[in-house]
Amino acid sequence: MEEIHMTDYELPPLPYDYDALEPSISEQVLNWHHDTHHQGYVNGWNSAEETLEEAREEGDFSDSAGAIRNVTHNGSGHVLHTLFWESMSPNGGDEPAGALAARIQEDFGSYEAWKGEFEAAASAAGGWALLVYDTHSNQLRNLVVDKHDQGALWGAQPILALDVWEHSYYYDYGPARGDFIDAFFDVVDWETPADRYEEAVARFE
């Protein structure tokens, strides 16, 4: 059989030290969450891609449907976790500025209205609260996403991500998810989300 070539996905390093977000998120949680949990999605995505490549080479697709589901689950987990790390920094806690701030004002009425809606999404989600740019209606939206892909909107470009799976906060906050959501806003950093928004608008508007 010919050698199979596939893309190897890799875990990106955290963009800050493991203790940099304390007390909002502890060093222990960042170690577990990034090095073990996020790494698991990277491994799962690579494994699923390998299964699909082998099936194509051998012409045996009996395991392909499950592998396709694993690509969706693990790939989405990898992408969203990467966005989550990039949505925070030890210098965060600010509000958006520039074009993104103006667009939030336009689409939600005010930053406070956006934040209230985003917090409601985070309180209800079984996975993620996302701020996305909806390329179909040309506007920003908040999404309630369960797991990694249930409730996602086709064509939407994620701008800001907040992980509200229990593994992201239970060690630090117990069942008080609302306290974790508040703490997220103490470290949220809008620089990378603002760049992501401007790239999405340039591509799709």
Annotated binding site for Mn(2+): 33, 81, 163, 167
How many C-beta atoms lie closer than 10 Å to residue 53's C-beta? 15
Q: Is 151 left (phi over 0), alpha (psi -120 to 50) or beta?
A: left
Amino acid at 187: V
Q: Residues annotated as binding site?
A: 33, 81, 163, 167
Query: How far, in Å, CA of 74 to CA of 76, rounded?
Result: 5
C-alpha Rg value of the chain to the nearest Å: 18
Contacts of 202 (CB under 8 A, 6+ apart): none
- The three-state secondary structure class of 56 is helix
Residue 153 CA to its chain's centroid (Å)? 14
